[in-house]
Amino acid sequence: MLDSPPPADETLGVERIRNGWRLAKASWKVLSQDRELVAIPIIAGIAALVVFGVVALPGVALLGGDDDAVSWAAWIVLAVAALLATWVTAIGQAAVVSGAGQRMDGADPSLGSAFAGARSRTGRLFEWAVLATVVAIVLDVVRDRLGLFGNIISSLGNMAFSVLSFLALPVIVFEDVGAIDGFKRSSQLLRGTWGEQLTFTFGLGLIGFLVALPGVAVAIGAGATGIVALQVIGIALGVAWVVAVMAVTSALSAVFKTALYRYASQEPVDVAFDTADLSGAFRRKGAR
């Protein structure tokens, strides 16, 4: 007896996974031409942590107060710290997007040219940081106030915002528009493509997690030795490895967003990307 063919939804799901893997490999091929761009997420991440820590310290100190006004002041300070950290992170992502765009235009980007592209959009990126921070705060409030129902709404809201804003940074960088217009433009390009975007994001996250495991294992193993010197060295190496993996996955995501945006805008895309794979990322719901 012949086996029945797999359901259409199952076939589409497998193809999405394969498509996501091919796109991740293509993103790496582009990134490998300008590996110095990997340093940008590291620089931006460290800068964001420093900014958050410096600004948030007064807020943390105020949290112990009993007065309502003091508590409100503390949360405002922490919100400002989160906003500035988000801004710095967005500038870093925008720099990688700018560098990837330069490569796809046939140029040879450097750290300076990549940051120059982002620096020209710092005001727009601040608007984006405000929007992203406000959305995060509102969803956190919903989650805290509405219990289980709030958790569901918050999770769905975070997912929807992440998917619909997937191309917001490339739009802001290349079209010089504000946060709201960037979000609208991104959502117009990606409406109905939840499966493809989530597959790529999940696949890249899974790859990053698996690659980071050796670093985690080294840190845990060193910590279990009981020898201070080995613990310090092992934990330092493990943390450095995990940070490097996070930087690479962040850069890969920015490269993919750049390629996807340029394809949607009918601009040249690096030859590493198969146009059939990119067109699959715009497959509408119900398409087979």
pLDDT at position 11: 54
**Angle, alpha carbons 197-199-203 (nearest 5°):** 120
pLDDT at position 149: 84
- H-type alpha helices, 192-227: 194-225
CA distance 104 to 258: 9
**Are 59 and 75 spatial neighbours (Cβ–Cβ below 8 Å)?**
yes
pLDDT in tens, 37-92: 888 998 998 999 899 988 888 767 666 556 666 667 778 888 899 999 999 999 99
pLDDT by residue, tens only, the chain of 288 residues: 344 444 444 454 566 666 767 778 888 888 888 888 888 998 998 999 899 988 888 767 666 556 666 667 778 888 899 999 999 999 999 999 999 999 988 888 888 999 999 999 999 999 999 999 999 999 988 888 887 888 888 888 888 888 888 889 999 999 999 999 999 998 887 764 454 566 667 777 777 888 888 888 888 888 888 888 888 888 888 888 888 888 888 888 889 889 888 888 878 787 777 766 666 655 544 443
**Are 92 and 49 spatial neighbours (Cβ–Cβ below 8 Å)?**
no
Q: How many CB atoms lie within 10 A of CB 45?
A: 18
pLDDT at position 66: 60
Token pair belonging to 171 = 């739009």
Q: How many CB atoms lie within 10 A of CB 262?
A: 21
Token pair belonging to 182 = 């960037």
- Burial class, 67, CB count within 10 angstroms (exposed 0-12 / middle 13-18 / buried 19+): exposed
**Are 197 and 167 spatial neighbours (Cβ–Cβ below 8 Å)?**
no
Residue 24 Cα distances to 18, 30, 96, 123, 133, angstroms = 10, 10, 16, 30, 28
Q: How many CB atoms lie within 10 A of CB 251?
A: 29
Phi, psi dihedral angles at 285 (to 5 degrees): -60, 135
pLDDT at position 76: 84
- Burial class, 125, CB count within 10 angstroms (exposed 0-12 / middle 13-18 / buried 19+): buried
What global pTM score does this model have? 0.80
* Site of tokens 């007064």: 58
Write the DSSP assignment of 42-106 as a string of letters. HHHHHHHHHHHHHHHHHHHHHTT--SHHHHHHHHHHHHHHHHHHHHHHHHHHHHHHHHHHHHHTT
Sign (positive or negative) of CA dihedral 239, 241, 243, 246: negative
